[in-house]
Amino acid sequence: MPAAAKRRYFVLIRQGLSGSEAARQVGVSLSCGSLWFIDAGSMTVVERIPISSRYFSQDDRIEIGDGLAAGEAVKGIAVRIGKSFQSVYREIARNRKADGTYQPWFAHNRAHVQRKRPKIRVFEEVPALRSIVAVKLAKRWSPDQISRWLRRRDPGTPRWHVCPETIYDGVYRGLIVVAPPRRACARDARTGTVAGAADPKTVH
């Protein structure tokens, strides 16, 4: 069948029509529509709110699928849909089918499920990392310094390679609690004693 018919079929499905009604409107048999539906992962995503431009739309994924089928380079596809080629590479790797092929409707369903699934943040999942970052922040290290240090310290542990923005997010959400620096007590302030220093009376 023409690609336009298949595209129209899934547009109707995403608008909430039944499989039989969508097939009738595009002029294909119910069995043909059912095969399309099964190949796409047997899932209906009803999109009533326009998708954010930060995500790949269904049309973006169709362009990727058509471009790959025509042997087009990923960089060329990326330019056409207005995305970075790195993003397109990640999209293909993340949402392709088990057999390695990229099917745009399957990819769109899969991406929808992943967006709906609650994300476990790294600082919730790795308490040791949370503690180390909290200690470094308490020592006045910047998130950039901590991020670089973690990569050098554990080059073989990608899970620990958090970016500065992730550290900021962890602090903002209360996942990382930074202990305030110890302040001199009132007695220290009166006597001029620095916390942790020897009492001047005992110095000989």
Share of the chain above pLDDT 70, in %: 78
State the pLDDT confidence band at 52, using cuts at 50, 70 and 90: low
Q: Decide which of 49 and 55 is more confident.
A: 55
What's the average model confidence in pLDDT over 81-103? 90
Q: Please state the rounded mean pLDDT for residues 92-99.
A: 88
88 pLDDT more than 90: yes
Q: What is the pLDDT of residues 127-174, one digit of tens each?
A: 899 999 999 999 999 999 999 999 898 888 888 888 888 898 888 888
Task: Quickly state the pLDDT bin for 197 (edges 50, 70, 90).
Answer: very low
Q: What is the rounded distance in angstroms from the CA atom of residue 36 to the CA atom of residue 33?
A: 5
End-to-end distance of the chain based on CA atoms, in angstroms?
Answer: 97
Residue 44 banded pLDDT, cuts 50, 70, 90: low
Instruction: Give yes or no for residue 60 having a pLDDT over 50.
Output: yes
- Comparing C-alpha atoms, which of 66, 173, 20, 45 is closest to residue 109? 45
Higher pLDDT, 126 or 191: 126
| Cα distances (Å, whole numbers) of residue 34 to 7, 23, 37, 151 | 14, 9, 5, 49
* 78, pLDDT greater than 60: yes
> Which of 46-55, 58-67, 113-122, 135-144 tops mean pLDDT?
135-144
Q: Is the pLDDT of residue 189 over 60?
A: no
Cα-flanking dihedrals φ and ψ of residue 99, to 5°? -85, 5
CA 172/CA 163 separation, integer angstroms: 15
